[in-house]
Amino acid sequence: MRSIPSLKPWFLAASIAIVCSSMLGVARADVAGGSGTINIFSFCPPSVCSASWDDLNDPASGSTDFNPAGYPFDFSFVTGDPLTWSCPPGENFCQATYGYGGTFSLTGPEGLLTGVVTSGSAYASSQGFDISVDFLGQWSDGKYAYGDANEVYSEATGFSSQLDAAPEPSSLLLFGSGIFSLGGLLHRKRRR
């Protein structure tokens, strides 16, 4: 005589699939639109870029609107005062390093990220300049992201800008620990 298969394993598998699917939404939503990461590089034009650092012991600032290049993002930043600064006499360059402080903002399709510059650097010579900052911020929906932004001018290539942002890793850790826990629970149930 044949026994009727139990529905318990199917119910458990369906429950795990539903929980995992809901966790995916949490892990992917840390960057606006749930896109995971933002990686944009553009010359200016077509993007609209600006940067300012007077090669002295002052904050640096920059902004880029990527919309004219077809990317629906724009950012701006102002660093705090430099931690170190040098413009050696007789040399053809100046440089500065920045620590935690200043502001960073990023606007995208899903909202506004406001944050703080966590570190940065500025370098200038007669051939151009490079201002780079790292940031940590919070989207208007409460999710966190971190990344870096660069404003570069070179006589050889012109003005360019780059933005990289990624979800804050704690939500990905939460997702991984949830999957691990569900796997352990399933293994324990199967042993009984």
Three-state SS letters, the chain: CCCCCCCHHHHHHHHHHHHHHHHHHHHHCCCHHHCCCEEEEEEECCCEEEEECCCCCCCCEEEEECHHHCCCCEEEEEECCEEEEECCCCCCEEEEEECCCEEEEEEECCEEEEEEEEEEEEEEECCEEEEEEEEEEEECCCCEEEEEEEEEEECCCEEEEEEEEEECHHHHHHHHHHHHHHHHHHHHHHHC
pLDDT at position 141, please? 85
Residue 63: partners with Cβ closer than 8 Å, 6 or more residues away: 49, 50, 51, 74, 75, 76, 77
Please check whether residues 64 and 97 belong to one and the same domain: yes
Residues 26 and 59 in one domain: no
Residues 110 and 55 grouped into a single domain = yes
Q: Are residues 101 and 128 in the same domain?
A: yes
Residue 146 shares a structural domain with residue 188: no
Residues 39, 133, single domain; the answer is yes
User: What's the token pair of residue 152?
Assistant: 């570069």
Among 14-28, 72-86, 101-115, where is mean pLDDT lowest? 14-28
pTM score of the predicted model: 0.67
- 19-23, 73-77, 86-90, 132-136: least confident range: 19-23
Q: Are residues 11 and 75 in the same domain?
A: no
Same structural domain, 57 and 130: yes
pLDDT at res. 59: 92
Residues 150 and 73 reside in one and the same domain: yes
Q: Which domain holds residue 66?
A: 35-167
Same domain for 2 and 58?
no
How many separate domains does the chain show? 2
